[in-house]
Structure 1
Amino acid sequence: MVLLKLKLVQRLIICDTAIDFVNHEGVLTFFVVCFVNGQLTDKTTTPNASGSDVVEAVVNLIREACIFPNDKKYLRRLAYVESMDGLEANTYRPNYYGGIWQIDQDMFQQIATAIVLDDAKKMIKQSIGIDWSKVQWVDLAKPLYSGLAAALFTLLKAGKNGIPRGIHYQANFWVNTYRPGHLANVFFTKSNKLETGCKRTNTLDLVFALDSSTSLAPQEFDAAKQFVKYIVDSFEISSDTTQVGVIRFSTTLDGGFNLNAHTSADGLKKAIDGVQYKSGGTHTAEAIEYAINNCFTTTNGARLGSSKILILVTDGRSENRNETLRQAAAAKAKGISIFAIGVSAQVDERELNAVASQPTCTHVQILNSFADLDSLKAEIEQVSCKASEFNLDGHEMGSIVVQYDDINTIKR
């Protein structure tokens, strides 16, 4: 009999499905497991494992460990394009070990010798516990190793330009860097077959807190409103799917609206346009507290069991930093994910990083242009797609103990 204690379990399904473990003994992990002969098996490190659950677990681990945070869905698409998530018959062919992401031996050698990847390899060792200097090509038959190799190879080829956004541009990038001599249409066609969005059964309650303090110019506040509308366009707005609320804050909190105020996209965007700039102090702590005690309540439209996200749009220079961090911690404890968006040339990134949920590489962004927000939209969708880590009343689930000595023994 073995006892395994975990901090949070997002979902647990027996055999061929997924379980997520977060922050186990200080190391971020995200596993797909299966009970085999009474033992708990991590399918992300099981040779020749395949399937969409395995791929998505690997991609999420890599993203949340901040190894490859803003890949614009490229790594997920790449797994399907290369091997249909490992389900193509020749994925694990004799004497070939490239795995789900089909990393050829010469590609693996480029990764092994590239000095520019040293920092990424250090991060892999620190966050996932894999010493890349000891990895062999044969190890890539394990999905996690194949995915990491694909991420490293892509980082090597993308360089400072990063991953292009959009399937068309990624198809050309794939031909130029990953599969020279192939047709871009192969990537394009297969990527379109892949369902990039999730089938969300849970609802999404999304609240924007807009800073209109004196330290922000009126045009920066207008840019913040345009940002809100840009994000809103990514979601279906209705009382049954996604609801959006807005808080406008400076010295006072007013001029916004609750989650249940607008149930259509057109009405919502008109209401966003109507939120007026009002200069004053930067009372960020009060804005977060208001979101907790007013916006995310059933009285004002929040729904039990919904994914709850607060997007703080600010320059990050609050009047009371300690109180701001205290309120942010209180929000997270109630199951509210916080994204922090910087909208000023004088933004305080340290405060944004302290306020935002982890990992900050996917929850903090400086607003330079709307074209840079594709990764943020994808991350919001990802958070809303995840199984809830909290009870319906918004309280965090406690640690659990999974005890197993046969296939049917699971105890909380």
Structure 2
Amino acid sequence: MKKYALFILILLANVEDTQSQADLTIQENAKGEPVVQAVVDAIRSHCIFASDRLFLRRLALVQSNDGEDSKTYRDGYHGGIWQIDEDKYHQTQTCPGILENVCENIETRLEINWQSTTWRDLRKPLYSGLAASLYVMYKNNISSNTPDGISGSRTHQSLIWKTLFAPDEATASFLNTIEANNDVCQKAIDLAFLIDGSGSIGPLNFDITRQFMIEVTNRLFISPEGTQAAAVQFSSSAQIEFYLNDHSTEGSLKRAIGGIAYGGGSTNTATGLNLAANQVFVAENGMRNHSAKVALVLTDGHSNDQMATEEASQLLKSKGVTVFAIGVGDGINENELQAISSDPDCTHVFILKDFSEVETIINAIQKRACQALLVVEREPGDDSGEIEKHIPFTGNETTVNLIIPAPPTNSSANSTNTTTLITDVSCSVVYIYASYDSTHPSAALYSYSDVALAGSPSVMTIKDESDRPLYITYEGKKYNPTATKTAVDCDNPAINTKIIQGKKPGADVTCKDGDIERECTPLDFQSSQFSKYTPKSEVVDVVNPCYRGVDVSDQTKAIHPNPRDSTKFLKCDVDGNMYVIQCPNGEEYHHDRSTCGDNNVLPTDLGVPLVSGTIAAPRSSPLPEETLEAVNSLYNVARAFQNAMQGKGAELTCKKGNKLQNCTLFDVQTSQYSSFVSKDSWLGVPNPCEPGVDLTDNNNRLHINDLDPKKFIICVEPNTMYVTQCPGNRTYVPESFLCRE
């Protein structure tokens, strides 16, 4: 019997790959850490439950593992990620008593009328998070305006969880879960303590301030590569106790903190803020270019001149420093703390009653460090509209948040309200999320997205008419060359960004039929010199639900029902391509279970599924002759159609100004036809498929996926690879060539 070694895929290219918007916080059954984080950020940044002291984030982990538990969205239960029972939801739904103002805030900030919601709405993550917030606030008599909130103590929070959500469970279950998930990103932080040494603070509270500084130091990684700390004391005047680069070890820093002497005197807070802005956060005294800049101002808020204090705080914040104001002592002036702090006040002002708040403050600092915005600005006087930035990786994975300010109104860079973002990466795959509305776009919330791969840059052209800054998030994963046969130089992976504002970077692309110019079509590109970059598509009457950058490990995003045929389903890849896959034996696809028939897995086990009535072959079995004939027939029809179309497209022409020139791929990528061409590598994994090898041998045909152990690589022909998802929650085991639990 003839063996079949070539699997055929019919791909449909997504023609709006960098235009698709996503807000998974309001999508039913969405799950995952980015979704939960986006919900918590929305609730805190809108000051709905800003004083949760990490409880909301921890509760999502304990209740449903961020929605990843299989029972989260079970039939008949709508409590969502935070698992809010129906009776608990109904206690909040009428907005009783203390919740009245909270519900008004939700309607004003999020345009959600809570009294009009239903329990079913809690299948949307944002609604589940709001219900959890309202229930906890109601039971603990907390309003949006309460600065104290609940305790940041893990032990205290475990008791709240047990009392309100799990009376039959031990508090150890809560504590063990959050301890096992206590990962925080380790980024460089330049941290300045600005400490009030005035007479109104007094020696006792000054000792508490120094102890607080040591508690903070204990929980941060002090080193030239990690966190650096400086200290400024202010009273009648201000003085620098030590600079950012004075102490490179934890022991040295603690000794310096212990040696700070209490000054006494009046409270000239403005001099301390100005000193930090002008002499601490400067490169010559240790500030680093790619660090997060954070200032902790510890004071009672009774300065000599509140207006001068506010002006000095604005100067410090204008340099990209995030300012936390921490109230110490008696009779604290919260209005002044709010004026000193970064916005929103509700997440940047703390009252230091005891050291249980330290963990909350440290988390806030680390979160700001992880989300610190790197401002990408032009040099003074530069009107070219072009900016370049080299961003090295800080580990095997890196996340970078950029803000690209809108160009000046009278600048040539503002002539078309267009920003082109060119991202070239080395030894990595980088997912790109962009937005004008969200300061920290992510996989859960973005307006534009794309993927940059080593050897295949991303080119995104984005237009906005309102002169707003553009926010960019890069999420990068470094290759591990030892896991692939492809040698890759990975000593210094980096992201190289070029931003072009106000002008089109490439030539104008048009198509000519004889002497007549017209709009180009995908067929024109398929018959041009760019055909190898153009996805070959079967004409299928199904709307493509896929988008570039989709998380293919999440079945709710990567797998969809086929509205035209219930025995088929649609599968997405990360480039926005759609695959039409047939269920085996004519069984129907069930979207609620993501299964075909009564089976508990999809037909994707160690093989790329076929289409049009065929099924995936078992790994070690050849296809039946009749199936092979059907596949060959389908393939021949598709190939004949493509051959017939060759040479029938129009001629591509490129013009820069009035000058004709040869078209380049860059011209196409920066034109209105960028969606007609696809990436020339797949998923960012180095290609292990070698020419001249026997692909019937699994050692040559099947390979481990370096970036995701739940996926594997299939070589379908020499130099051509596909990345395939293991079914269920299985992991690929290269020794046995199988996906196993």
Establish whether residue 40 from structure 1 lines up as the match of residue 7 from structure 2. no
Q: 2:405 corresponds to which letter in structure 1? A: G
Establish whether residue 90 from structure 1 lines up as the match of residue 71 from structure 2. yes
Shift of the alpha carbon at 1:378?
Answer: 2.1
Give 2:81's aligned residue.
100
Establish whether residue 250 from structure 1 lines up as the match of residue 235 from structure 2. yes
**Whole-angstrom distance in 2 between the partners of 1:150 and 1:366:** 24
TM-score of the superposition, structure 1-length normalised? 0.83
Q: Residues 236-247 of structure 1 correspond to what in structure 2 (within 5 A)?
A: 236-247=221-232
**Whole-angstrom distance in 1 between the partners of 2:296 and 2:117:** 40
In the superposition, relative to structure 1, how do residues 46 and 217 fare at CA in structure 2: closer, same or farther (>3 Å)? same
**Whole-angstrom distance in 2 between the partners of 1:237 and 1:259:** 11
Equivalent pairs counted in the alignment come to: 376
Shift of the alpha carbon at 1:406?
Answer: 9.8
Equivalent position to 1:177, from 164, 167, 174: 164
Q: Residues 323-402 of structure 1 correspond to what in structure 2 (within 5 A)?
A: 323-391=308-376, 397-399=404-406
Give 2:259's aligned residue.
274
Contact 1:316 1:351 in 2 (8 A): yes
Equivalent position to 1:189, from 162, 172, 176: 176
Over residues 237-285 of structure 1, what are the superposed CA-to-partner deviations in whole Å (9 max), with x where a residue is unaligned? 1111001100112223225000111111111111111111222332211
Contact 1:97 1:141 in 2 (8 A): yes
Establish whether residue 199 from structure 1 lines up as the match of residue 200 from structure 2. no
**Whole-angstrom distance in 2 between the partners of 1:390 and 1:49:** 32
Give 2:55's aligned residue.
74
Q: 2:157 corresponds to which letter in structure 1? A: Q
**Whole-angstrom distance in 2 between the partners of 1:86 and 1:225:** 41
Mean alpha-carbon deviation: is it higher for 219-228 or for 185-194? 185-194
In the superposition, relative to structure 1, how do residues 127 and 197 fare at CA in structure 2: closer, same or farther (>3 Å)? farther
Mean alpha-carbon deviation: is it higher for 162-171 or for 108-117? 162-171
Contact 1:317 1:347 in 2 (8 A): yes
Shift of the alpha carbon at 1:69?
Answer: 1.7
Mean alpha-carbon deviation: is it higher for 253-262 or for 47-56? 253-262
CA RMSD of aligned residues (A): 2.7
Shift of the alpha carbon at 1:197?
Answer: 3.6
Establish whether residue 51 from structure 1 lines up as the match of residue 37 from structure 2. no
In the superposition, relative to structure 1, how do residues 186 and 369 fare at CA in structure 2: closer, same or farther (>3 Å)? closer
In the superposition, relative to structure 1, how do residues 316 and 185 fare at CA in structure 2: closer, same or farther (>3 Å)? closer
Shift of the alpha carbon at 1:392?
Answer: 8.3
Establish whether residue 110 from structure 1 lines up as the match of residue 95 from structure 2. no
In the superposition, relative to structure 1, how do residues 371 and 41 fare at CA in structure 2: closer, same or farther (>3 Å)? closer
Give 2:120's aligned residue.
138
Mean alpha-carbon deviation: is it higher for 395-404 or for 250-259? 395-404
**Whole-angstrom distance in 2 between the partners of 1:310 and 1:406:** 33
Mean alpha-carbon deviation: is it higher for 222-231 or for 303-312? 222-231
Structure 1 gaps of 5+ residues are 1-34
Over residues 142-190 of structure 1, what are the superposed CA-to-partner deviations in whole Å (9 max), with x where a residue is unaligned? 1111111111111122336953444444333222211232343432333
The structure with the greater share of residues assigned to helix is 1
Shift of the alpha carbon at 1:405?
Answer: 9.4
Give 1:302's aligned residue.
287
Percent identity of equivalent pairs: 35
Q: Greater RCO between the two (CA within 8 Å, min separation 6)? A: 1
Equivalent position to 2:134, from 132, 142, 152: 152
Q: 1:103 corresponds to which letter in structure 2? A: I
Contact 2:153 2:357 in 1 (8 A): no
Over residues 171-219 of structure 1, what are the superposed CA-to-partner deviations in whole Å (9 max), with x where a residue is unaligned? 332222112323434323332322x34223x310100111212333222
Which entry has the higher C-alpha Rg, 1 or 2? Answer: 2
Equivalent position to 1:124, from 96, 102, 106: 106
The structure with the greater share of residues assigned to strand is 2
In the superposition, relative to structure 1, how do residues 338 and 183 fare at CA in structure 2: closer, same or farther (>3 Å)? same
**Whole-angstrom distance in 1 between the partners of 2:313 and 2:212:** 22
**Whole-angstrom distance in 2 between the partners of 1:347 and 1:279:** 17
Over residues 281-331 of structure 1, what are the superposed CA-to-partner deviations in whole Å (9 max), with x where a residue is unaligned? 322112111111110111111110211111111222222222221121121
**Whole-angstrom distance in 2 between the partners of 1:235 and 1:70:** 22
Equivalent position to 1:64, from 45, 56, 61: 45
In the superposition, relative to structure 1, how do residues 365 and 169 fare at CA in structure 2: closer, same or farther (>3 Å)? closer
SS of 1:254's equivalent in the other structure is strand
SS of 1:171's equivalent in the other structure is helix
TM-score of the superposition, structure 2-length normalised? 0.48
Shift of the alpha carbon at 1:57?
Answer: 1.0
